[in-house]
Structure 1
């Protein structure tokens, strides 16, 4: 069995141009958002949002409308529910635990009713390297632009509120408003990421690179930069390897992401 075949790479690369662009944009957003996800202890919430994002995308596929739009609606709904009802970590985890099976169940129901190509169903769960067409790329680019501009505007107060919410609130930082804004940004980032890596493995883009970066440095400048580099390496590397193997993108993205994290843990241990 041949795992990789790069003999016709020149003919195959044009097929994934949109996916490479989308992957780079999502890695940039995921690497930056991931730092706040880690600092705010919301890794589990990412998974919960991704399940409702998957449900929204699945129903959009069933209805024959834009899949990215359905994914965004599902993600934002989940983000608002978690943000409104889960002020404390314990409450938030309970809400996420309820949302995850509900979203997954609804999504599977929609896919069971969908009579189109099986690859479209499978791609929502595990990602597809040639699934990003021009309209979807435009949607994804727009989402990423909104997230990046908003992050730039609220970066400093959001970072303060994430690291020390009590002191930030005492200093007059609008922590509650920032929390809602961040949940909406997280919802958008998850919705966009689902289109490339799939709903089941979105953590590999929004959590693992940031977790690896924070193992190497606590610098508020260097950590986001490393997180973005790790995310870009995972996504672009995963797409290129998947192209040579003719398999779904997600196993490669997750494997590269995990290896980066494992190396970061080893370096952290050596430094100590």
Structure 2
């Protein structure tokens, strides 16, 4: 088998592989900056909680409309936003920390979603919602993913600076009239939107993997925030492309292949990255003395 047949032929020959590749590359463009902001805000586990919070809304929409793309997307979006609002409200009105509130509500949401799916759906339907199938992405799902990512990038282009400032010094942003609270809420909306888009291709449990792993891995290589976002998008795109090839040639599930490849990139970065990796800790670069 030639290199061309290995790397390109599957996408030339099969339409479903092209759809999956376009969806993966589009998701990578949105996942890079959103995942980077999550990491900088130390909200990585909140991203995981929000991904699980999609399930009850998607399950309820499934009970009403069946496997309707837009109904399940709208239901998932509403459920995740509801969890974000409830967790934020509990944090403001009590002494409980935000991560604990998110953990409590996402566990409730996950259990409720599985219960709803089991009331009418089969185990196949539940597996589809939880793990998705990027190889089953159709034109409608592609339009949803592309539209969500386009709106995300346009919004980030307009409010990137205050979002970054709010990550490092929210007090300063409030002092200069930057409306840090609104920035935080806007960021949560963007996060939920990208998780919903990823849910259509990778399912609720896998969507957060493509969002978080490349962003975490990127921190071992670059320092600037813009560089982090760009590298995270590149790593997510490579994980999507490589994962699809791995699933095609090895006969493996596509979603887990993509996320596992992103995990492998993270492990390599952890071991040999130039910044804060194990290599830099145990084998620091030698500093030359100036005579």
| Alignment match of 2:270 (pick from 238, 260, 265) | 265
Unaligned runs of 5+ in 1: 1-5
Partner in structure 2 of residue 253 of structure 1: 258
| Residue matched to 1:203 | 208
1:71-220 paired onto structure 2 within 5 Å: 71-86=76-91, 91-115=97-121, 118-220=123-225
> What stretches of structure 2 of length at least 5 have no aligned partner?
1-5, 285-291
- Cα distance in 1 for partners of 2:134, 2:58 equals 17
C-alpha separation between the residues in 2 aligned to 1:229 and 1:89? Answer: 40
Cα distance in structure 1, aligned partners of 2:182 and 2:95: 17
Query: How far does the alpha carbon of each residue in 1:161-204 deviate from its partner, in whole angstroms, 9 at most, with x for none?
Result: 11222222223321111011111111111111122222123332
Q: CA deviation at 1:35?
A: 0.8
Q: Is the 8 A contact 2:59 2:117 kept in 1?
A: yes
Q: 1:191-240: per-residue Cα shift (whole Å, max 9, x none)? A: 11122222123332111111111122221221111111111111222223
Greater Cα offset, 15-24 or 28-37: 15-24
Q: How many residues align?
A: 266
For residues 105 and 146 of structure 2, the distance between their equivalents in structure 1, rounded to whole angstroms, comes to 28
TM-score (structure 1 length as normaliser): 0.88
Query: Offset of 1:89 from its aligned partner?
Result: 11
TM-score by length of 2: 0.82
- The 3-state SS of whatever aligns with 1:176 is helix
